[in-house]
Amino acid sequence: MTDLTLPPEQSTGLQIAKLLIGAELITPKQLRHANRVRSKLAEQKTLLETMFDLEYFTQNQFNDMLRNADVDIRIGDLLVEMGDITSAELSAAIRAQKAAGNNRKLGEILVEQRYIKEQRLINVVANQLGYPHIEPDYAQIDKQILVDVDPSWCEQYEFIPVRREGDRIFVACCDPGNEEIRDVASRLYPRATIVQAICSRFNLRQAISKFKNRSAPVRVSGEDSHIVRLVDTLLYDAIKMESSDIHIEPTQNKVRIRFRRDGVLWPYKEQPQEHLAPMLARLKVMAGANIAERRRHQDGKLEFTDPVSGHIIDVRCSFYVSVHGEKACLRLLNRKATLLNIEEIGMAPSVLERFKFEALDAPTGVVLITGPTGSGKTTTLYGCVDYLNDDETSIITAEEPVEYVIDGITQCSLNPKIDLTFEETLRHMVRQDPDVIVLGEIRDKVSAESAIQAALTGHKVLTTFHTEDTIGGLLRLMNMNIETFLISSTVVSVMAQRLLRRVCRDCEQPYTPTPVELQRAGLSPADLVGANFKVGAGCEACHFTGYIGRICVFELLVLNEQVKDAILNHRASYDIRRISIETSGLITLLEDGVEKASRGLTTIREVLRTLPRLDSPRPLAEIRRLSKTGT
């Protein structure tokens, strides 16, 4: 390693390189090779970035090496070496810190100047210094550890206890190296070991605010106590089982109750027929519906507080008149549902890269996210909004209702009862000087034309659409009598998606698809080579279903010139699909599902149950090459 020379600004890279060699993650020969590669790159990269690109070691291996290293590497230098900030940005931040008299943290300045996102900074600090990363959520905090805590102390010293593990108390704060926080927490818990965890400032302040304004869970009362307990238990159990919907269905002589979990309905309980009317009356009172009306369909909504977690659950209620009485369907929307980053929703690397570069980064145009109800469209839509959300972009939404509240954007929840309609809102949205317009859903020709017109006037428009696949999204616009030249000139991309159940990791086992399954999926025995198909045997963790949680499969259509020409010429859906596959790199829903099944994420049975089979998929090796997922 003595013959390796680096410029002065790469001294931190050399220091890290020595640590990597000491940890036996690289050899001196690999280090010299990485430096030669770096010197020949057209794009300027650090030595560490180059070694990551050469796949000498993984991010986890690097993090473990940092935590175990005896050498202290300054956080600013580490951020530069990892490519998160530039040397110029670091120098500017240091100057700002000196101008403030060193009274401010360097990380705070870096975030304030938008050189780095706070979440990324937190991850780097946690990995370098070994602090646990815990985002405080007041609803999930063990309330027993807060009994003797004064909320004003948490506000003054900017910390909050989050959990107890044995004799250790974990305290979330923005500055885990602050000894004052440790001293205060030690006085609160004199017999415990204090473990300081790093978190974001926003989540910490939210948790402290809720702690100050804490109140007992809202409990309903009145009417018949048995029915009240029955409805409460019904909602409690649905939340506990992480259900998305509750179906209360009258039959000729009983009431059947089912929960939808992971996209599939499961029996819950059966009740006598005489319980139907009081149960629905109770729900109608809670949802603000008319309890005297039993001849017409009704809608309503209510808020329900889970007494265990403290989460507020929004419940959309639909009452449907049937021959055996009214049926109720309740959709549960957790306000604390996690907002996923666009990179975390499961797109194949090549699909994600094209979606960001050719769709989300496009200056104008309409981006459609399509799929049936319950296919995860809203989650993807908000992931796109989160990707675009920064201090330089004005984002405004019209939703019915707002499902995720995102800091930094203007969100409007439509309410037709007070004439806050879609049409009325759209007229005012364009006067708010937006860069990005988000429409919760295209429902009819009026909303479709509004999205098109907004794109024509230079806006970027994100919206969802109920169609089977990407080509179906284009055809439905054409069926709404939207001119084909408007579609081809404004629609940038169409993303179709579905949710498939994920194989349970606790009971997964290897599985070889049967010849019938291979035939139905359009696969050949040659596709089994290098594949890792799995199935869940069933265990308590997955309620003996073999599945737990869900994954998303995608189909991305980017409108290139050939596809636009096919639309203008009113070509058939088969021709548009063929042209898209041949010229735009389209990977179909079925192909993405088969590829994910071959990696053991889901099963062939789930693929066949859920995904449209319009054409036979290409060979598995070809799909992997196109999606860049490897073997």
Q: What is the pLDDT of residues 236-274, one digit of tens each?
A: 899 888 889 999 999 888 899 999 988 888 888 888 888
Dihedral (CA of 553, 559, 562, 567) sign:
positive
The pair of structure tokens assigned to 345 is 């929703």
pLDDT at 294 over 90: no
pLDDT at 142 over 50: yes
The H-or-E segment that residue 611 falls in is: none
Cα separation values, 167 from 101, 189, 191, 192, 194, Å: 39, 10, 8, 5, 9
* Banded model confidence at residue 630, pLDDT cuts 50, 70, 90: low
Query: What's the whole-model pTM score?
Result: 0.63
Q: Which residues contact 119 (CB under 8 A, 6 or more apart)?
A: 200
Residue 270 corresponds to which amino acid? Answer: E
* Banded model confidence at residue 216, pLDDT cuts 50, 70, 90: very low
Question: Exposed, middle or buried: residue 104 (CB in 10 Å: 0-12, 13-18, 19+)?
Answer: middle
**Distance of alpha carbon 624 from alpha carbon 463, whole angstroms:** 29
DSSP 217: P
Q: What is the mean pLDDT of the chain?
A: 85
**Distance of alpha carbon 367 from alpha carbon 438, whole angstroms:** 10
pLDDT digits (tens, 9 = 90+) for 422-477: 778 877 888 888 999 998 888 888 888 888 988 888 889 999 988 888 998 999 99
Question: What mean pLDDT comes out for the span 99-116?
Answer: 76
The pair of structure tokens assigned to 192 is 């415990």
* Banded model confidence at residue 10, pLDDT cuts 50, 70, 90: low
pLDDT digits (tens, 9 = 90+) for 336-368: 556 678 888 889 889 999 999 999 999 999 999
Are 9 and 17 spatial neighbours (Cβ–Cβ below 8 Å)? no
Are 318 and 283 spatial neighbours (Cβ–Cβ below 8 Å)? no
Neighbours of 476 (CB within 10 A): 18
Q: Which residues contact 459 (CB under 8 A, 6 or more apart)?
A: 364, 430, 434, 435, 436, 437
pLDDT at 118 over 80: yes
pLDDT for position 60: 79
DSSP lists the bridge partners of residue 395 as 436
Cα separation values, 173 from 133, 200, 338, Å: 10, 8, 21
pLDDT for position 328: 95
Least confident of 22-26, 60-64, 258-262, 294-298: 60-64
Higher model confidence: residue 66 or residue 207? 207
Question: What mean pLDDT comes out for the span 385-410?
Answer: 85
The pair of structure tokens assigned to 34 is 């990485």
pLDDT at 58 over 80: yes
Residue for token digits 């002065």? 8
Outline where DSSP puts E strands in 46-176: 159-165, 168-173
pLDDT at 43 over 80: no
Torsion of CA 203, 209, 211, 213, to 10 degrees: -150
* Percent of the chain with pLDDT strictly greater than 90: 27
What is the end-to-end Cα distance of the chain in Å, rounded?
Answer: 35
Write phi, then psi, for 332 (nearest 5 degrees): -95, 125
The H-or-E segment that residue 257 falls in is: strand 254-261
* Banded model confidence at residue 591, pLDDT cuts 50, 70, 90: very high
**Distance of alpha carbon 592 from alpha carbon 581, whole angstroms:** 13
pLDDT for position 453: 86
Least confident of 178-187, 209-218, 510-519: 209-218
DSSP lists the bridge partners of residue 264 as 261
- Mapped onto helix, strand or coil, the DSSP state of residue 514 is coil
Are 545 and 536 spatial neighbours (Cβ–Cβ below 8 Å)? yes
Are 610 and 582 spatial neighbours (Cβ–Cβ below 8 Å)? no
pLDDT at 222 over 50: no
Write phi, then psi, for 279 (nearest 5 degrees): -65, -45
Higher model confidence: residue 82 or residue 618? 618
Question: What mean pLDDT comes out for the span 30-43?
Answer: 81
DSSP lists the bridge partners of residue 330 as 246, 317
Are 406 and 337 spatial neighbours (Cβ–Cβ below 8 Å)? no
Show contacts of 57-61: CB within 8 Å, 24+ apart: 57/20, 57/25, 57/26, 61/25
pLDDT for position 631: 44
**Distance of alpha carbon 286 from alpha carbon 280, whole angstroms:** 10
DSSP 546: S
List the one residue out of 555, 553, 532, 535 whose CA is nearest residue 545: 535
pLDDT at 494 over 90: yes
Question: What mean pLDDT comes out for the span 491-516?
Answer: 91
The pair of structure tokens assigned to 316 is 């959309």
Paired sense of beta strands 325-334 and 245-250, if any: antiparallel
pLDDT for position 336: 58
The residue count for the chain = 631
Q: Which residues contact 92 (CB under 8 A, 6 or more apart)?
A: 113, 115
**Distance of alpha carbon 70 from alpha carbon 423, whole angstroms:** 63
Residue for token digits 């370098």? 128
**Distance of alpha carbon 301 from alpha carbon 531, whole angstroms:** 46
Higher model confidence: residue 318 or residue 82? 318
**Distance of alpha carbon 189 from alpha carbon 185, whole angstroms:** 6
**Distance of alpha carbon 184 from alpha carbon 165, whole angstroms:** 19
pLDDT at 615 over 90: no
Are 315 and 301 spatial neighbours (Cβ–Cβ below 8 Å)? yes
Question: What mean pLDDT comes out for the span 310-322?
Answer: 87
Cα separation values, 435 from 275, 360, 489, Å: 52, 12, 18
Q: Which residues contact 561 (CB under 8 A, 6 or more apart)?
A: none
* Percent of the chain with pLDDT strictly greater than 70: 93
**Distance of alpha carbon 155 from alpha carbon 323, whole angstroms:** 58
pLDDT digits (tens, 9 = 90+) for 439-453: 888 888 888 888 898
What residue ranges define each of the domains in the chain, with the CATH number in brackets?
8-129 (no CATH), 138-212 (3.30.300), 225-334 (3.30.450.90), 342-626 (3.40.50.300)
Write phi, then psi, for 306 (nearest 5 degrees): -70, 115
List the one residue out of 628, 629, 627, 621 whose CA is nearest residue 586: 627
